[in-house]
Amino acid sequence: MDEEDSGQDYIFKIVLIGDSAVGKSNLLARFVRNEFHPNSMSTIGVEFQTQTINVNGKEVKAQVWDTAGQERFRAVTSAYYRGAVGALVVYDVSRRHTFDRIGRWLEELQTHSDMHVVTVLVGNKSDLRDAREVSTDEGRALAEAHGMFFVETSALDSSNVKPAFETLVREIYSILR
């Protein structure tokens, strides 16, 4: 088994979903390039970015898809979801309405995806302590209710960004390998 396995490439398609301005693009920029953009990024036209993660000695490629702002117009297409095996469903802990819309994003994911999708609920902008509108307990409870992993992140100060992606990739790997 080991011999057959060696040299095999794993590529997991992961989609970022959630309301506009919750920090999806910055989570990806932090994860892949260790960058943060204080002003909302304009469309860069890149469909996805790839980051290699080592899982149990295997090279696993996370191919992470980011919307080019289509979520503003509720125009995320089924092509975006097609073939996805993982999703980061993101809200902004400082804007409750982005948390209230998580259910709708999960429905959209379920409608469009063609396979079982491992999902992590991500409460981003944990650095905005004074502006917080959604507690950690609420986030955790919602994640539990839907069988999702849960993490609070800050793309600004980097906290938990890597673990968010790595938890997802490890879980997909353990299910699909």
| Among 12, 14, 15, 23, contact with ligand GDP (rule: CB under 6 A) | 23
Does 25 participate in binding Mg ion (rule CB under 5 A)?
yes
Binding mask 126-165 for ligand GDP (x = CB under 6 A): -xx-------------------------xxx---------
Task: Characterise 57 by phi-psi region: left (phi > 0), alpha (psi -120 to 50), beta (else).
Answer: left
Cβ-based nearer residue to ligand GDP, 63 or 160: 160
- Other residues' Cβ atoms within 10 Å of the Cβ of residue 28: 25
Which residue from 86, 90, 87, 95 is spatially nearest to 142, judged by alpha carbons? 90
What whole-number distance in Å separates Cα of residue 25 and Cα of residue 19?
A: 11
45 binding partner (options Mg ion, ligand GDP, none; Cβ < 5 to 8 Å by kind): none
Cβ atoms of 165 and 31 within 8 Å: the answer is: yes
Does 98 participate in binding Mg ion (rule CB under 5 A)?
no
Q: Given the rule CB under 6 A, which residues bind ligand GDP?
A: 20-26, 37-41, 124-125, 127-128, 154-156
